[in-house]
A and B are shown apart, each in its own frame.
Chain A
Amino acid sequence: MMDLRELYQDIILDHGRHPRNFRAIEHPTNFAQGHNPLCGDRVTVYLTLDGDRIADVSFQGRGCAISTAAASLMTEVLKGKTVAEARALFAQFHARATGGEPGPDLPEPLAEEMERLEPLTGVKAYPARVKCATLSWHALEAALKSPGATVKTE
């Protein structure tokens, strides 16, 4: 069995305990809720889009260390990115977290951000936890698609 510290690396424990950008945006241009019916976890992702660029991103909700850290790290890497860059990161992250084909390499600045998300991809050894790591990203995707939406991870 994999050492649990591979799953719960320090950066995850830190972001789980002290999530960054853990706040509501009062007048978001886009927002969406994510819900994992399996464990009752809920997350709301808020976005302020400036044209095609993510000027601000934040989240609120309740969840396990993995889902809280995933949302926290997501907001950190997304700030200032374009919508297309955000989607490229999600695609790459999703593939790595599920043990799928990572696809073509990301361009340099995005590849660096992907490095920051790497600790979360430890969930691929624990299939029941993949949803924890991807819930906030699914909510992001829903927020980008329609300004106020709810997604479930089921």
Chain B
Amino acid sequence: MRPASLRTVYPGPGGFDPQEIKREFPIFASNPGLVFLDSGASAQKPRSVIDRISNYYSTDYANVHRGVYRLSARSTELFEEAREKMRAFLNAADSREIVFVRGATEGINLVAQSWGATFLKPGHEVLISELEHHSNIVPWQILRDRIGIRLVVAPIDVTAGLDLAAFEALLSPRTRLVAMTHLANATGALVPIETITRLAHRHGAKVLIDGCQAAPRLSVDVQALDCDFYVFSGHKTYGPTGIGVLYGRYELLSEMPPWQGGGEMILNVTFEKSEFQDPPHRFEAGTPDISGAIGLGTAVDFIEELGRDNILEHEEALTGYGVDRLSRIPDLRMVEAGQRRLGILSFDLEGVHPHDLAQVLDQHQVAVRAGHHCAQPLVEKLGLAATTRASLGVYNDESDIDRLAEALGAAREMFLR
């Protein structure tokens, strides 16, 4: 039954062994038999991250950037050390280019409300794509309605990848920002963002990349990409919820006004006026999610230890196995994902609604996502109301895909008898 020739032999490169990795994630010990295929929504957490957060609160906790006492200094050091880890993770030139935010959504809203509201004028255009999820659509709509910019949407082509020619044709002197996903969350389509960035810059537009799905799967080098902003969420990157990263080119950040006011972000406050800190602290009003940042630092350590090239190789092999395995199921259609699909398997089982399907899969302890994946315009464009999505993580292997395929068989039996 198994297409034996397709099986990758584990451990893979660099000793990469999903079975062994799975043991690092306590959720699998607490839920024996769980097949977790929803890392695209949020990844599970390795023990090292969970322990780090707990240890931090037990041994090093105090507020940052204010106390003169040693504990506060130590906490500040750990927090700023986490920032340095994010710098290295994205290969940013300077750790002052790393702003801690609640997640990618907040990072995009920050850019929209600070950079966008300051530098965009009526008639200017923000160019997004049909592949975006709601977090990279709605902040721009809010800004549009507030200051009168235009929101332009680059279409997908027949393979459901970004239509590069159409994208290029939409670039004009009015285009001031291109905001685009690195990897489409609903379909797994990888976007050639190097090309996007080069074309956008040629037209004088700044570029924001939404790296939610890419950061856990690919090496990201913001200097090589040459993008102006890059955002990702901690919780999709094996880190805690409530923390994420906005990378911004320093000269851009330093021209941007604060978007939220409070402690941490000021130099001097009188009732008449306040002077603001330099980036990144200018954008981190209030006590930050210190344990979140430190926990994310440990998650990044975990990823680097596995090796990002190894992770990419693993996800590519497993994606290929998944497409092949699922495509053999009668009545199942993979949702198109352009030229290159990575880490996400979105599909439609004809005659079975994704909600019913996900319910049956859950009965088989297979956790997938059913719905529009917060990318409603894309899913509707593809002619569907909803899809079923299996998304991969470092702990998944072929046996998880096999279990998914078996459960899909059971669902077919139930609904298509």
Contact = CB atoms under 8 A, between A and B. Distances in A.
Given A8-B414, A13-B415, A65-B415, A41 B359 contact: no
Interface in A30-72: 38-42, 62-66
Interface of A: 1, 4, 7-8, 13, 16-17, 38-42, 62-66, 126, 129, 132
Contacts of B360: 4
Contacts of B355: 39, 41, 64, 66, 129, 132
A64 B371 CA distance: 11
Contacts of A16: 356, 415
Given A7-B359, A39-B372, 15 more contacts: A4-B360, A4-B363, A13-B414, A17-B415, A39-B354, A39-B370, A39-B386, A40-B371, A40-B386, A41-B355, A64-B353, A65-B352, A66-B355, A66-B356, A126-B359
A27 to B, nearest CB: 28
Contacts of A132: 355
A38 B414 contact: no
B253 interface: no
Interface residues of B, number: 18
Contact of A40 (B359, B372, B415): B372
B95 interface: no
B127 interface: no
Contact of A4 (B359, B380, B385): B359
Interface in B362-401: 363, 370-372, 376, 379-380, 385-386
B379 A40 contact: yes
4 A-B pairs with least C-beta separation: A64-B353, A64-B355, A40-B385, A4-B363
A15 B186 CA distance: 30
Nearest to B371: A39
B385 A62 contact: yes
Which of B356, B359, B385 has the largest number of chain A CB atoms within 10 A? B356
Given A63-B353, A66-B356, A38 B371 contact: yes
A126 B356 CA distance: 12
Contacts of B359: 4, 7, 126, 129
A91 B66 CA distance: 58
B331 to A, nearest CB: 14
B352 to A, nearest CB: 8
A129 B380 CA distance: 22
A64 B376 CA distance: 17
Contacts of A4: 359-360, 363, 414
A130 to B, nearest CB: 12
A99 to B, nearest CB: 18
